[in-house]
Amino acid sequence: MNLKTLFNLYENYRMESPFIGTPVELYEPMRYIMELGGKRARPLLSIASALSAGGNIENALPIGHTMEVFHNFTLVHDDILDNARLRRGQPTVHEKWNTPTAILSGDNMLVKAFEYLLAYQGKQKDEILNMFTRTAREVCEGQQMDMEFSQLEDVTEESYLEMIRLKTAVLLGCCAYGGASSAGASHEKAKKYYTFAESLGLAFQLDDDWLDTFGDASKTGKKAGGDIEEGKKTWLYIKAKNKGLQIAQLYATNQSEDRIYHATKLFKNHGLDEELKRLSAFYADKAADILQNLAQMGDKTHYLVELAEMLGKRES
């Protein structure tokens, strides 16, 4: 078995439990978003963590599916918040249907996520429910922080890191926690899995920021500088601002192409590209250390190692 086998097992499980119900217009968007594809990193994290901690796939599948449904709920609502028109190259739910239906279908997916988890019959149910509920709340908090940052002039690096932690990393942590717990791991042990996946998530997000500005377009598949063009407050912007560099003025006075050129140059001149790489590597190393530690204690971490590599393998 390799990661691809686990992926296929999850896809089979997912397709065997589609969203069915009336009114049809409420359930169709729920099926639609779930079928847009993706790496299924969250259920894979749950399954690989379960196997690592000595559990089985069967108990981990409903946990992973809960997390994937929750993740897709956040996509439906976030796309409304961001006025996004496309998701994985297809129309977003509120574009294909309408905003009211997207709000309600999303709400119903959040309810469904709880429904799946409540139906779970395996080990450590209360621990997983508590962690999931806390995580769901934190993801809402992270999304709200993200929205507010776009309006704020001054954001600290610490707040920015906390925002990406809440918006993205905690759910990955919860996936790994739930998987390990389904294998019977104690709260303390499952927290190690949590911190591994949370760190991986932070590394991944910071890498995303780096690639967007400094990535090789021929490898990433998109033009470098998208975040600068949109004037997004990424780690690079915040760090430049907090170093006293004239980044706000540069964003305000330059047009598109000029802005990308000058901002990228400013970031590089002050070594921010290297600094961002180091920060991302710090979290990736932290994740790797935890895995190594778990392996030393006898856990079978090879799927998680493979998964971390797959998630990290993006062209730079």
Applying CB under 8 A, which residues contact a copy of itself? 21-23, 25-26, 77, 80-81, 99-101, 103-104, 106-108, 110-112, 114-115, 118, 129-130, 133-134, 136-137, 140-141, 143-145, 147-148
Tokens describing residue 132: 């999931």
Smallest gap, in angstroms, from Cβ of residue 73 to a copy of itself? Answer: 8
127 vs 275, beta carbon nearer a copy of itself: 127
Nearer of residues 111 and 297 to a copy of itself, judged by Cβ: 111
Residue 164 C-beta: closest distance to a copy of itself, Å: 14
Q: CB of 103: closest distance to a copy of itself in angstroms?
A: 6
CB of 282: closest distance to a copy of itself in angstroms? 25
Shortest Cβ 71–a copy of itself spacing (Å): 14
Kindly tell me which of 114 and 282 has the beta carbon lying closer to a copy of itself.
114
- Token reading at 226: 């998208």
CA separation for the pair 21, 171 (Å, rounded): 27
- Mapping DSSP to helix (H, G, I), strand (E, B) and coil, where does residue 20 land? coil
Q: Which long-range contacts (CB under 8 A, 24 or more apart) does 298-303 make?
A: 299/52, 299/53, 299/54, 300/51, 300/52, 300/54, 301/52, 303/3, 303/6, 303/47, 303/48, 303/51, 303/52
Residue 222 C-beta: closest distance to a copy of itself, Å = 25
C-beta atoms surrounding 217 within 10 Å: 11
The residue (of 7 and 149) whose beta carbon lies closer to a copy of itself is 149
Residue with Cβ nearer a copy of itself (11 or 115): 115
**Shortest approach of a copy of itself to residue 4 CB, angstroms?**
34
Q: For residues 139 and 170, is the Cβ–Cβ distance under 8 A?
A: yes
What is the distance in angstroms between the CA of the first residue and the CA of the last residue of the chain? 29
138-159 residues labelled b (16+ CB within 10 A) or e (exposed): bbeebbebbeebeeeeebeeee
- The smaller minimum CB distance to a copy of itself, of residues 131 and 190, is found at 131
Instruction: Rank residues 232 and 286 by Cβ distance to a copy of itself and give the closer one.
Output: 232
Q: How many CA atoms lie within 13 A of 289 on its CB side?
A: 8
Structure tokens at 276: 């961002």
> For residue 80, which amino acid is it?
I
Considering the complex, what minimum distance in angstroms separates the CB of residue 288 from a copy of itself?
Answer: 31
Nearer to a copy of itself, 46 or 101 (CB): 101
Of 279, 252, 310, 305, nearest to 52 (Cα)?
305
Question: Packing angle between helix 3-16 and helix 302-312, nearest 10 degrees?
Answer: 90
